[in-house]
Amino acid sequence: MTGPAAAEVTALLTLSGERDMWVKVCLRRERAAYRQGFIAGDLAGYTRARTEMARRWTRIASPVAYGGPAFADLEERRWGPGGRARFGDPRPGDFRGRGVT
């Protein structure tokens, strides 16, 4: 191919190569920015969670640590009457099946 058409094709190919290079550069920068944002968000979230847990821990743990409810009372609150061993037993008001009185 010769003449003006060849020059136009060459110019287009040059622009196409430059375009491909810029697409790669932009994608690389976008990926890096996403990674940085994800890491920053992750760090901010964990920092906030640690701060909230530390603030609430005293209120949660103090009653138990300083003469609060006995362990047996806490277990009964958690598992119901009879503790863990009796957790699966029927309770008053449970459905006992059709036709059972």
Q: Please check whether residue 70 lies inside any domain of the structure.
A: yes
Q: Please check whether residue 89 lies inside any domain of the structure.
A: no
| Model confidence pLDDT, tens digit, residues 76-98 | 889 988 888 888 888 888 888 88
| Model confidence pLDDT, tens digit, residues 12-26 | 778 888 888 999 999
Distance CA 73, CA 20 (A): 70
Structural domain harbouring 73: 4-84
Q: What's the DSSP call for residue 3?
A: S
> 84 near 75, Cβ under 8 Å?
yes
Helices then strands, counting H and E runs in the chain, come out as 2, 0
Six token digits for residue 50: 């640690």
Domain count of the chain? 1
Q: Please check whether residue 26 lies inside any domain of the structure.
A: yes
Q: Please check whether residue 79 lies inside any domain of the structure.
A: yes
| Model confidence pLDDT, tens digit, residues 36-70 | 999 999 999 999 999 999 999 888 888 878 888 88
Q: Please check whether residue 45 lies inside any domain of the structure.
A: yes
Q: Please check whether residue 98 lies inside any domain of the structure.
A: no
Q: Please check whether residue 64 lies inside any domain of the structure.
A: yes
Confidence class for position 2, pLDDT limits 50, 70, 90:
low
pTM of the model: 0.44
